[in-house]
């Protein structure tokens, strides 16, 4: 008989691409995941993973098992949802993926609130970029996602995934003290040409928004420095190395030498909670979505302005 936990390990590797990433998502060590798959290989007398460069590749037999694992995981999820629904209280493990600034600025009070009011609920948070996390919830790798989109780049919900709006996060133009924009009450997007930009790397939603927005205004952005974390971007602005567009959520107080200037119109990114349709009846999902919405007004009111 195939072991469900070992099938979960193989399924996680197929979704996340590496043993290490699968281990992080499952809350195990890489060694534990490797051992689970090795045991599954012995049970099935089949090679499931093959070395490919620094990573691994799933064999055809492994892909067949992953399809079966996906169906079994869905069946277990439905059973757990029905049991939790009968009890009427949030319980069990709930895995959540959130992008960096939400993980920093929104999730701590939300998770603490859930832990205080629902001791039977075991929440597990992982920080993942939105363009990856939405696919993970659709594939069943996580239970709930906190993601965002921008006003010119909407976030589509995949088939079988539901979403609810958490709130709107405003974004400001950050410039070094002494920059010509520093004394302005507002800057129009058409005025942004010829600037040296500090931005997240390509593939990130913020990067794509900046490129699209400037091109729509007739400018090709000159991106001179790239970094993943907003505090790094702010530090580069403080050093006088360029300007940046930074959302308020999770940004923290600005250091000396950095001035925020509103753009006209002001960019907005909308935060969403997303979950699989099959888990919509689960009290843990409903309560977490409600708690996210309940905390957003206080979180947004205390973001730097």
From 79, 105, 134, the end of a domain falls on 79
Q: Is residue 305 part of a domain?
A: no
* Same domain membership, residue 272 and residue 152: yes
* Same domain membership, residue 143 and residue 68: no
Q: Is residue 181 part of a domain?
A: yes
The yes-or-no verdict on residue 305 having pLDDT over 60 is: no
The yes-or-no verdict on residue 304 having pLDDT over 60 is: no
* Same domain membership, residue 252 and residue 112: no
* Same domain membership, residue 72 and residue 60: yes
When mean pLDDT is compared across 93-97, 100-104, 249-253, the lowest value belongs to 249-253
* Same domain membership, residue 239 and residue 175: yes
Q: Is residue 207 part of a domain?
A: yes
* Same domain membership, residue 235 and residue 95: no
CB neighbour list of residue 132: distance below 8 Å, 6 or more residues apart: none
The yes-or-no verdict on residue 27 having pLDDT over 80 is: no
* Same domain membership, residue 234 and residue 121: no
Q: What is the pLDDT of residue 112?
A: 98
From 47, 79, 111, the end of a domain falls on 79
From 45, 79, 113, the end of a domain falls on 79
* Same domain membership, residue 286 and residue 218: no
Give per-residue pLDDT as tens, 178-202.
999 998 999 998 999 899 999 999 9
* Same domain membership, residue 276 and residue 194: no
* Same domain membership, residue 135 and residue 60: no
Q: Is residue 67 part of a domain?
A: yes
**pLDDT range class, residue 250, cuts 50, 70, 90:** confident
The domain of 175 spans 168-266
* Same domain membership, residue 190 and residue 146: no
CATH code at position 116: 3.40.190.10
Q: What percent of the chain has pLDDT over 70?
A: 98
Q: Is residue 120 part of a domain?
A: yes
CATH code at position 22: 1.10.10.10
The yes-or-no verdict on residue 49 having pLDDT over 80 is: yes
Q: What is the pLDDT of residue 47?
A: 92
When mean pLDDT is compared across 9-18, 72-81, 145-154, the lowest value belongs to 72-81
Q: What is the pLDDT of residue 302?
A: 60
Q: Is residue 157 part of a domain?
A: yes
Q: Is residue 176 part of a domain?
A: yes
Q: What mean pLDDT do residues 75-94 have?
A: 79
Q: Is residue 304 part of a domain?
A: no
Query: What is the tally of structural domains in the chain?
Result: 3
* Same domain membership, residue 11 and residue 57: yes
Q: Are 58 and 66 in contact (CB under 8 A)?
A: yes
Q: Are 283 and 170 in contact (CB under 8 A)?
A: no
């Amino acid at each position: 008989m195939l072991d469900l936990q070992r099938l979960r390990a193989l399924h996680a590797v197929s979704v996340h691409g590496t043993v290490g990433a699968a281990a992080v998502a499952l809350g195990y060590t890489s060694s534990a995941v490797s051992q689970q798959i090795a045991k599954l290989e012995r049970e099935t007398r089949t090679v499931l993973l093959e070395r490919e460069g620094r990573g691994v590749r799933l064999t055809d037999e492994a892909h067949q098992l992953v399809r079966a694992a996906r169906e079994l995981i869905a069946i277990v999820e439905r059973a757990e949802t029905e049991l939790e629904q009968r009890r009427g209280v949030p319980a069990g493990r709930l895995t959540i993926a959130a992008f960096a600034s939400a993980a920093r600025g929104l999730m701590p009070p939300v998770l603490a609130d859930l832990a205080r009011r629902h001791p039977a609920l075991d929440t597990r948070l992982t920080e993942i970029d939105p363009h990856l996390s939405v696919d993970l919830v659709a594939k069943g790798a996580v239970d709930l996602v906190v993601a965002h989109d921008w006003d010119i780049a909407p976030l589509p919900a995949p088939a079988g995934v539901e979403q609810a709006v958490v709130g709107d996060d405003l974004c400001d133009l950050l410039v070094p003290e002494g920059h010509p924009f520093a004394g302005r009450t507002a800057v129009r997007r058409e005025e942004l040409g010829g600037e040296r930009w500090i931005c997240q790397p390509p593939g990130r939603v913020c990067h794509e928004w900046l490129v699209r927005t400037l091109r729509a205004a007739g400018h090709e952005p000159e991106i001179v420095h790239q970094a993943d974390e907003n505090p790094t971007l702010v530090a580069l602005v403080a050093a006088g190395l360029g300007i940046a567009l930074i959302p308020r959520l999770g940004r923290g107080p600005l250091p000396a030498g950095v001035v925020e200037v509103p753009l006209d119109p002001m960019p907005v990114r909308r935060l969403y909670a997303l979950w699989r349709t099959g888990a919509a009846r689960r009290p843990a999902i409903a309560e977490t979505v409600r708690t996210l919405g309940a905390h957003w007004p206080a979180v947004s009111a205390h973001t730097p302005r």
